[in-house]
Amino acid sequence: MPLKIDDRKVDGVTVVELSGRLVLGKESASLRDAMKRMASRGDKKILVNLAGVNYIDSSGLGTLVGGYTTLVGSNGEMKLLHLTDRVHELMQITKLLTVFEVFNDEAAALRSFQ
């Protein structure tokens, strides 16, 4: 199943909705391209909703980290929303939970950007 990427603006925050598999190949490349596009149009606050991601590999994790690094380097912020159990476990094993702010409630996540 290819990765589907949709985004919307909510109170100055770009909410990126992902669904499908975030894996090596065109899936990771499409997310990387989308993140670059958002950064180039000046989006500095990005909330990535991973509720629809049913599988993520190391390349997918690397793409998230790359997006985070790019945003932080340009005085932006990137936070994660609705990690599945599997993704949460991977983030915990790789210690990425110490890097990303993670939320289970969209309203709380949006407030955290203020």
User: Tens of pLDDT along 64-94?
Assistant: 999 999 999 889 999 999 999 999 999 999 9
By C-alpha distance, which of 31, 42, 41, 40 is closest to 80? 31
- pLDDT of residue 1 exceeding 80, the answer is no
Q: CB within 8 A of 16, min separation 6: which ones? A: 5, 6, 7, 34, 38, 46, 47, 48, 49
Q: What is the number of alpha carbons within 13 Å of residue 107 lying toward its C-beta? A: 0
> What does pLDDT average to over the chain?
95
The DSSP code for 101 is -
pLDDT of residue 68: 96
**Hey, where are the domains in the chain?**
4-105
CATH number of the 4-105 domain: 3.30.750.24
User: What is the pTM assigned to this prediction?
Assistant: 0.96
Specify the DSSP element, H or E, that contains 65: helix 58-73
Mean pLDDT is lowest, of 24-28, 69-73, 102-106, for 69-73
